[in-house]
Structure 1
Amino acid sequence: MREEDFYEKTLHREMIFKGRVIEVAVDEVVLADGTQAQRELVFHHGAVGIVPVTSENNIILVKQFRKPIERTLVEIPAGKIEKNEHNPIEVARRELEEETGLGCQSLEEIFDVALSPGFSNERMIIYLATGLVQIEQPKGQDEDERIELLEVTLDEAKAMITSKEINDSKTIMAIQYLELNMK
């Protein structure tokens, strides 16, 4: 099939909700073959994830409660891009400092991923942070965040995936990236 055979043309959009983090809409669409359908969509400004790797090749992870799934997750530091923020690398630096109290000498984009493209436009850019340095007076966590830091080896992180202690997709992808690229 050609690319145009997949295209869906929007006939009408109804905005259902506009919040601080997301917007929700319902689109009436027509497919390339003329079939009409309805799509429920979530719009998000995007996010960043950071894979902090120490000089000993350990990984800094965060442990925090995630309300949408009603459980505590172990994951890489991450955060949303605010409406007024246009430079994801600066957002990554801010989130690294807020969640871990660390800065870094190098921040390299390692991948850009669509998280749930079946209903959301949210994209997350994942960065590798190296040359970690403790910030003397870090900005600190958001008022509504409770975070515990973990420092683990790559083997420990892989074992945490196997035991399902880590089941966050961005974190699994980041650890797999490290497994393939850390020597």
Structure 2
Amino acid sequence: MDRFEEKTLTSTTLYEGKVISLRVEEVELPDGKWAKRELVDHPGAVAILPITNDGKIVFVEQYRKALNRSLVEIPAGKIEPGESKEITAIRELEEETGYRSDQFTYLQSFATSPGFANEIIHLYIARGLEKVEKPAEGDEDEFIHLIECTIEEAEQMLVDERIYDAKTAFAVLFAKNLLKQ
């Protein structure tokens, strides 16, 4: 048992959407006092660090309404019900980049915002990329521009805040060590 565990007393779902649900829980704290927690439930996601045969990283640039701006990110997507993480990685790589790979390696999983959300992202690296002649179609409300660049260019995009999300920054750090070996 975790000595900091918060025991759930009540749980009320306020919203259930396509991507997330929101609930409020009353909890008993370790000192016996009560508190409220606003929590976001997410099914989890997969992110892919695609590296071309010439050592470039494939990124996608897309608009993110929550931040009201475009970001450069690694391809990623939500795990669909009944879908394995590996299948999600294969599907998202093709849908978002038009590439296919049979060389996926699991790197690490991590929590994105554990203070209020249970989303876990599972990070994979994809090598041996091959362009797909007719790739699977992505989400109809997703508009993506592909960017292929060196690790040095990716590091500069971090400095310039074009890469601004945690999963991509995390992946760039992995790539830096991987590609400079």
TM-score, length basis structure 1: 0.95
- Name which of 80, 88, 91 aligns with 1:91: 88
1:31-70 equivalent positions in 2, closer than 5 A: 31-70=29-68
Render the CA deviation track for 1:156-177: whole Å, top value 9, x for unaligned. 1011111212111111100101
Percent identity between matched residues is 45
| In 2, Cα distance between equivalents of 1:84 and 1:129 | 22
Residue in 2 aligned with 1:14? 12
Q: How many equivalent pairs are there?
A: 180
CA distance in 1, matches of 2:91, 2:60: 15
Aligned-partner Cα distance in 2 for 1:84–1:5: 34
Aligned twin of 2:21: 23
CA distance in 2, matches of 1:128, 1:134: 16
Work out the CA distance in 1 between the residues paired with 2:136 and 2:2. Answer: 48
CA distance in 1, matches of 2:115, 2:168: 20
Find the counterpart in structure 2 of residue 175 from structure 1. Answer: 172
Aligned mates of 1:24, 1:141 — CA distance in 2: 26
- Which residue of the partner structure matches residue 80 of structure 1? 78
Q: Distance in 1 between matches of 2:17 and 2:95?
A: 23
- Any unmatched runs of 5+ in structure 1? none
2:138 is matched with 141
What runs of 5+ residues in structure 2 fail to find an aligned partner?
none
Q: Which segment is superposed worse, 132-141 or 143-152?
A: 132-141
Equivalent residue letter for 1:152: C
User: Which residue in the other structure is 2:103 paired with?
Assistant: 106
* Whole-angstrom distance in 2 between the partners of 1:4 and 1:102: 43
| Equivalent residue letter for 1:174 | A
State whether residues 4 and 32 of structure 1, in contact with CA within 8 Å, keep that contact through their aligned partners in structure 2. no
SS at structure 1 position matched to 2:86 = helix
